[in-house]
Amino acid sequence: MNVESKNLKNNPLLNSINGKGLNVKNWKSDDEVEILEIKGEWLNIENTTKNKKYWIKWKNKSQLLVYLNLLV
């Protein structure tokens, strides 16, 4: 699976819920991502390719803020 923000400027990857934005320079579209936890409008994800964990807001009420892609 891959999770990608629709707008990284307005919805960046964070170190915690409502936390500090993280620089993800080498993130590639084919990196594998595992969803570890869903907490309301937030996803705790791990980029298993790079062994890094992040938080991202995945929805705002009924509006999706990310792309969820199944990699096969």
Mean pLDDT of 5-33: 86
**DSSP label of 3:** E
- Taking a C-beta distance cutoff of 8 angstroms, is the pair 53, 44 a contact? yes
Mean pLDDT of 12-17: 94
Residue 72 is predicted with a pLDDT of: 65
Number of structural domains found in the chain: 1
Residue 58 is predicted with a pLDDT of: 95
Complete DSSP assignment for 4-65: EES-TTTS--BSSTT--B---TT--TT--EEEEEEETTEEEEEETTTTEEEEEE-EETTEE-
Where in the sequence is the domain holding 7, given as residue range(s)?
A: 2-69
Residue 71 pLDDT > 70: no
Which residues make Cβ contacts (< 8 Å) with residue 46, sequence separation at least 6? 33, 34, 36, 52, 53, 54
Tell me the whole-structure pTM to 2 decimals.
0.83
Mean pLDDT of 36-56: 93
